[in-house]
Amino acid sequence: MLKLSVEEIIKKIQNEEVFEAVSNDYSFTLKIDSYVHYVCGAVHDGHQFRKELWTNCKHTEYERWYEEDPETKNMVISHPIVIAGLDSRFEYDLNRAPDTAIYEDAWGKQLWYKPLSEEMKNKSLDKHKNFYKVVEALISKIEEKFGICIVYDMHSYNWQRWDREVPTWNLGTANVDTNRFSEVIESWRLTLEKMPLPNGIKSTSKINDTFQGNGYFLKFITQKFKNTLVLATEIAKVYCDELNQIMYPEVVNAVENYLQTELKNHAETFYKEHKL
């Protein structure tokens, strides 16, 4: 893995180079093994939290972990193009627009003992801005090369906080072209529903049941690129004990193994049916 500036990363994308890199501020990673028509993203995978913020944050390390999406990068790690955040959403949220990316409160609790200075905020917002510079360059290259692109926007959610039965998988489609891509969306839902999982976990899948797909990552790409479909894909945290902070690697591995083949197959079908 290389350590590169945003400018160096973008230049490599424009030159269609294969590489794996971490940004020089260690805020995100990008792997490109080959240039294909699909991208996997895990914007909430990160857990890093700037040390100068530690004593000012009211949320514990566990409370931050609880709201993050651990292991979502590893669920798609085998695919050719993977971009993932390294920083906690509690520093800045890559799935929110810049003006709301830095929380004042989070899940009903004030985040900071003292309000952040503009300097502190700008350190975080610079990383947010740089991430999206790379996203724009990446999707531009994919659309230029293939005419069309599909992005698997991987997330997780805390199912035990719900007071009703919720699906193992939720697809949020409120901000994508459901008329144009209805068959693609439904085939992805069915693909997820057929996933075999260990420990007696049933793989159910619904559309806009728990979340509607209102994230900035999806909106940013969808608004800028008319031939790219972003599938906001949320897995319930059945792959861990969300209350005791214990990971179930056998479940993560089962998801990754299944998606190695089935996500690729889904992306290939998408390309055959929608290439321009």
- pLDDT for the residue numbered 128: 98
- Residue 143 near residue 229, CB atoms below 8 Å: no
Residues of the chain with pLDDT under 70: none
Q: Which residues pair with 19 in a beta bridge?
A: 32
Percent of the chain scoring above 70 in pLDDT: 100
Secondary structure element (H or E) that encloses residue 21, with its range: strand 19-23
Predicted TM-score (pTM) of the model is: 0.97
Number of neighbouring beta carbons within 10 Å of residue 62: 10
- pLDDT for the residue numbered 156: 98
The alpha carbon of residue 127 and the mean position of all alpha carbons in its chain are separated, in whole angstroms, by 16
> Token pair for residue 141?
């290259």
- pLDDT for the residue numbered 107: 86
Q: Which residues pair with 232 in a beta bridge?
A: 153, 172
In the chain, how long is the greatest CA-to-CA distance?
Answer: 54
The pLDDT mean for the chain works out to 97
Helix residue ranges, H only, the chain: 6-14, 61-67, 118-146, 178-193, 216-224, 249-274
- Residue 43 near residue 128, CB atoms below 8 Å: no
Superfamily of segment(s) 2-274: Zn-dependent exopeptidases (3.40.630.40)
Q: 6 by DSSP, 3-state: which?
A: helix
> Token pair for residue 160?
């035990």
- pLDDT for the residue numbered 61: 94
Q: What is the DSSP secondary-structure string of 23-84?
A: ETTSSEEEEESS--SEEEEETT---B--GGGGGGB-S-HHHHHHHS-TTTTGGGTTSSEEEE
Q: How far apart are CA 244 and CA 181, in angstroms?
A: 39
The residue extents of the domains of the chain are 2-274
- Residue 173 near residue 205, CB atoms below 8 Å: no
Encode pLDDT of 15-24 as tens digits.
Answer: 999 999 999 9
- pLDDT for the residue numbered 109: 87
- pLDDT for the residue numbered 275: 87
Encode pLDDT of 195-219 as tens digits.
Answer: 999 999 999 999 999 999 999 999 9
Secondary structure element (H or E) that encloses residue 246, with its range: strand 246-247
> Token pair for residue 18?
């294969």
- pLDDT for the residue numbered 169: 98
- pLDDT for the residue numbered 108: 86
Long-range contacts of 76-79 (CB under 8 A, 24+ apart): 76/40, 76/42, 76/152, 76/154, 76/256, 76/259, 76/263, 77/256, 78/256, 78/259, 78/260, 79/38, 79/40, 79/259, 79/260, 79/263, 79/264
